[in-house]
């Protein structure tokens, strides 16, 4: 992914996101509304999504940053149990049939994790 420093937004230090562990939430504006995104690490790579279930528009995490279910193989919505593949956000079971999480472009550089805004997901204005 080609990232340019002038549009990349810092999320956290890379070592804060542990393989199949707690994720890190970050503020975004999605479709003009203040929301959160989150970043997780899975199979050595970082992945970020809008923190919204594809089944019902609620945040996924059980408690802040807890997105993985107990096996660490899937992301799971705390509200209705929809499960998603961590590397793609594609629904893997439950009430989200055919849905997917909204990806956010993310990358690691110089010990940090950064995300890139797009037409729908933008930084929160101060």
pTM: 0.93
Give the DSSP H or E segment for 39. strand 33-42
Provide the token pair at 126. Answer: 């101060």
The string of pLDDT tens digits covering residues 15-36 is 999 999 999 999 999 999 999 9
**Please, are residues 74 and 94 in contact by the beta-carbon 8 Å criterion?**
no
Which CATH code for domain 9-120? 2.102.10.10
- pLDDT < 70: residue spans in the chain: 1-6, 126
Q: What's CA 66's distance to the chain center, in Å?
A: 11
Pick from 51, 66, 59, 64: nearest CA to 101? 51
Q: Return the pLDDT at 1.
A: 43
Q: Return the pLDDT at 25.
A: 98
Instruction: Please name every residue paired with 45 in a beta bridge, in sequence order, or none if there are none.
Output: 42
**How far from 56 is each of 18, 23, 43, 59, 99, CA to CA, in Å?**
28, 21, 27, 9, 11
Q: Return the pLDDT at 125.
A: 80
């Amino acid at each position: 992914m080609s990232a340019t420093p002038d549009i990349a937004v810092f999320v956290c230090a890379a070592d804060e996101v542990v393989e199949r562990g707690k994720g890190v939430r970050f503020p975004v504006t999605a479709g003009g509304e203040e929301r959160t995104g989150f970043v997780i690490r899975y199979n050595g790579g970082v992945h970020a999504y809008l923190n919204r279930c594809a089944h019902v528009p609620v945040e996924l995490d059980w408690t802040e940053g807890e997105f993985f279910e107990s096996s660490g193989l899937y992301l799971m919505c705390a509200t209705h149990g929809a499960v998603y593949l961590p590397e793609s956000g594609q629904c893997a079971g439950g009430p989200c049939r055919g849905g997917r999480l909204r990806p956010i472009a993310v990358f690691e550089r110089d010990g940090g994790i950064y995300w890139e805004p797009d037409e729908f997901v933008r930084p929160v204005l101060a």
